[in-house]
Structure 1
Amino acid sequence: AYIAVASELFHTAARRALDRAGLRASDIDAVVSVSSTGIATPTLEARIADALGFRPDILRIPLFGLGCAGGVSGLALAQRLADADPNMRVLLVVVELCSLAFRCDRLSKANIVATALFGDGAAAAVISSRDGGEGTELLPGCQHTWPHTLNMMGWKVDPNGFEVIFDRAIPPFARRHLRPVIEDFLGRLKVEKSAVSRFSFHPGGAKVLQAIESAFGLRDGALDIERQVLREHGNMSAPTALFVLKQMLEEGRSGLSLLTALGPGFSAASLPLMARA
Structure 2
Amino acid sequence: MPDPERIGRWGYRTFHRAADGVTAVDLAAAAARDALDRDGLAVSDVDLLVLAHSEMPDYPHWDSSTALARALKMRDTQTLLLNEGCASGVTGLALVAGVLATQPEIQTVLFTAVNRVSEFHRNRMTVNNAVHSDGAVAAVLRRGHERNRWLATEQLIDSDLCDWFRTDYGGAVEPVPPEGWSAATAPPGHERVQAHFQKDPQRLREFGGQAIDRSIAVIDGACHRAGVSRDEVTHYIYINDPDGIADVAPLLNLPLSRTNQEIARRHGHMGAADQLTALGELLEAGAVEPGDLVALTGISIGMRWYCSLVRA
Please give the TM-score of this superposition, normalised by the length of structure 1: 0.81
Partner residue of 1:59?
78
**Higher relative strand content:** 1
Partner residue of 1:42?
62
1:21-57 superposed Cα distances (whole Å, 9 cap, x missing partner): 221112111111111312234322322434422141x
Give the deviation of 1:148 after TM superposition: 2.4
CA distance in 1, matches of 2:168, 2:251: 30
Pick closer, same or farther for the CA change 1:135–1:187 going to 2, 3 Å: closer
Give the deviation of 1:68 after TM superposition: 1.8
Contact 2:249–2:259, Cα closer than 8 Å, also in 1: no
Q: How does 1:64-143 map to 2 (within 5 A)?
A: 64=83, 66-88=84-106, 89-98=108-117, 100=119, 103=122, 112=126, 114=128, 117-129=131-143, 133-143=145-155
Pick closer, same or farther for the CA change 1:171–1:153 going to 2, 3 Å: farther
Contact 1:34–1:94, Cα closer than 8 Å, also in 2: yes
Letter in 2 for 1:141: T
Give the deviation of 1:113 after TM superposition: 6.8
Please give the TM-score of this superposition, normalised by the length of structure 2: 0.73
Q: Are positions 1:235 and 2:288 aligned together?
A: no
CA distance in 1, matches of 2:79, 2:86: 21
Contact 2:100–2:143, Cα closer than 8 Å, also in 1: yes
CA distance in 2, matches of 1:116, 1:234: 7
Contact 1:256–1:273, Cα closer than 8 Å, also in 2: yes
Contact 1:37–1:100, Cα closer than 8 Å, also in 2: no
Partner residue of 1:207?
243
Of 170, 188, 198, which residue of structure 1 is paired with 2:225?
188
Contact 2:157–2:303, Cα closer than 8 Å, also in 1: yes
Of 49, 57, 75, which residue of structure 2 is paired with 1:31?
49
1:106-136 superposed Cα distances (whole Å, 9 cap, x missing partner): 9xxxx73738611101111111116xx3432
1:152-210 superposed Cα distances (whole Å, 9 cap, x missing partner): 4443335248777454757544323322332233223321222222232222x233223
Contact 1:98–1:236, Cα closer than 8 Å, also in 2: no
1:205-252 superposed Cα distances (whole Å, 9 cap, x missing partner): 233223223544545xx1564222222110011101111111221122
Between Structure 1 and Structure 2, whose CA radius of gyration is higher?
A: 2
In the alignment of these two chains, the number of paired residues is: 263
Of 25, 40, 61, which residue of structure 2 is paired with 1:22?
40
Q: Are positions 1:6 and 2:40 aligned together?
A: no
Structure 2, unpaired ranges of 5+: 1-18, 171-175, 195-203
Cα RMSD (Å): 3.0
Q: Residue 111 of structure 2: SS of its match in structure 1?
A: strand
Q: State percent identity of aligned pairs.
A: 27
CA distance in 2, matches of 1:82, 1:2: 38
Contact 1:174–1:208, Cα closer than 8 Å, also in 2: no
Pick closer, same or farther for the CA change 1:176–1:137 going to 2, 3 Å: closer
